[in-house]
Amino acid sequence: MSFWCEARDAIASAVPYYMTPCWFTLDPASLLVTSHHDHGYLGDIPPEWLAQEYYEDDFDLHSVADVARSKAGISTLHEVTGGDPSRSRAWRECVQPYGAEQQLGLALRTPGGETWGVLTLYREPGQPIFAREERQLLLAMAPHLAEGARRGLLLGEASEPDRPDAPGLVVLGADWSVESLTPGVERWLCELPGEWEARGKLPPAVLAVAGRALRTAESTDDPGEVALARVLSNEGRWILLHGASLIANGARRAAVIIEPAHPARISPLLMSAYGLTEREQDVTRLVLRGDSTAQIAEELFVSTHTAAAPEARLREDRCAQSTGPCRQGVLRPLRTTLPGQRTSCDQWAAIAWRPYAEGSSHLGIARLP
């Protein structure tokens, strides 16, 4: 919460807004809302509001998911509604009653393309629209806000783990020795390839990530890059390591967070490993994000009717026709819950994209039990 408070104060000095910002954290794979924070100004939001956001397509013409998916990463309700926000039922029921008229949405997206949250700002009637300069400033801030949200979620869970597979934190000194370990992290160190359990030596992946993180760190104002590594564990599952520098009072340390690899993190690696083309990977990501066939077609500039291609066509694809390494290696980790569907999505997503005739592009999507 302290991060959102500091971010609120920084934004207020440059982009005036009404009442309070609203912060939404998202699951970057599905773009489903995982938390909401309004600094205590709005009280209890109607519990059905978020359900309607994902259940009714026409409830909110400027939804959190729409902002998160948008290429621009920023938009206003006035733009979406052609200057008439009353066209949106969500505006009539959830914005206007609080005295606001304008709504701006900003996707909190990392440089790598993962959206970890959405910020919404409001203005009351009679105030100027959000200017181009203000929007550009918010876009410049978005990657930093996204990284702050991501790190906050990870560090909070690593410091106070409440389940067996919660992330763990290792802090290394300048000489690469262990300064501190959070409860439960030794389980991850034992599971990583190396000799932690036998000899107490840090796994190579932990040292590599720590070294990369400290390499680019210059000062407290320039902490450098966040290093990432995806490692196949001794137990056959993927583990993700994040490395960040800790610089204070002249001392240089590295913090390494170890956690189970989220599908959004390992899917690019797995899809590349099994030879999916760039377009096949694009389609897979959109399906796992929960996009409808029409949204996928619009995003990739293909015809919607091709999404209903016969299953026989899909069987020609390397993933759809095989129950071997491709299905087990690529599809199993990408098992997910897709938003906007009425039935259980405890299914496999198999994707096929190929030109079936010269000069045409066809998109096929199948759900395999």
Domain that holds residue 324: 264-368
Which domain-ending residue is among 204, 226, 261? 261
Please indicate, yes or no, whether residues 356 and 287 belong to a single structural domain of this protein. Answer: yes
- Asked if residue 257 and residue 309 are part of one domain, the reply reads no
DSSP 218: -
Question: If you average pLDDT over residues 102-108, what whole number do you get?
Answer: 97
Share of the chain above pLDDT 90, in %: 27
pLDDT at 343 over 50: no
Domains in the chain: how many in total? 3
pLDDT at 114 over 70: yes
Same domain, 232 and 308: no
Q: What's 78's domain CATH number?
A: 3.30.450.40
Determine which of 57-71, 107-121, 243-257, 300-314 has the lowest per-residue pLDDT on average.
300-314
Taking the C-alpha atoms of residue 227 and residue 112, their distance in angstroms, rounded to an integer, is 12
Residue 314 host element (H or E): helix 311-315
Give CA 301 to chain center in angstroms.
Answer: 24
* Residue after which a domain boundary falls, among 157, 173, 194: 157
Same domain (yes/no): 185, 138: no
Q: What is the pLDDT of residues 305-315, one digit of tens each?
A: 554 342 223 33
pLDDT of residue 117: 92
Range name among 128-137, 177-186, 297-306 with the lowest pLDDT average: 297-306
Given 137, 157, 177, the domain boundary residue is: 157
Q: Quick one: 254 and 184 in the same domain? A: yes
Identity of the residue numbered 14: A
Regarding whether 270 and 126 lie in a shared domain, the answer is no
Give yes or no: residues 279 and 341 share one domain: yes
Give the DSSP letter string of 76-143: EHHHHTTT-GGG-HHIIIIIGGGT--EEEEEEEE-TTS-EEEEEEEEE-TTSPPPPHHHHHHHHHHHH
Task: Compute how many other C-beta atoms are within 10 angstroms of the C-beta atom of residue 365.
Answer: 21
151 and 7 co-located in one domain? yes
Beta bridge partners of 168: 258
Looking at the structure, tell me whether residues 15 and 69 fall in a common domain: yes
Q: Both 147 and 199 in a single domain?
A: no
The two structure tokens encoding residue 265: 């993190």
List the CATH number of the domain containing 187: 3.30.450.20
Do 78 and 109 belong together in one domain? yes
Is 137's pLDDT higher than 80? yes
197 shares its domain with 274: no
The two structure tokens encoding residue 193? 């390839």
Q: What is the DSSP annotation of 279-303?
A: HHHHHHHHHHHT--HHHHHHHHT--
Q: Mind listing the pLDDT tens digit for each residue in 148-190?
A: 888 776 665 555 555 667 889 999 988 888 999 998 899 999 9
pLDDT on residue 184: 85
pLDDT tens profile 36-70: 888 888 766 665 676 677 767 778 889 898 999 99
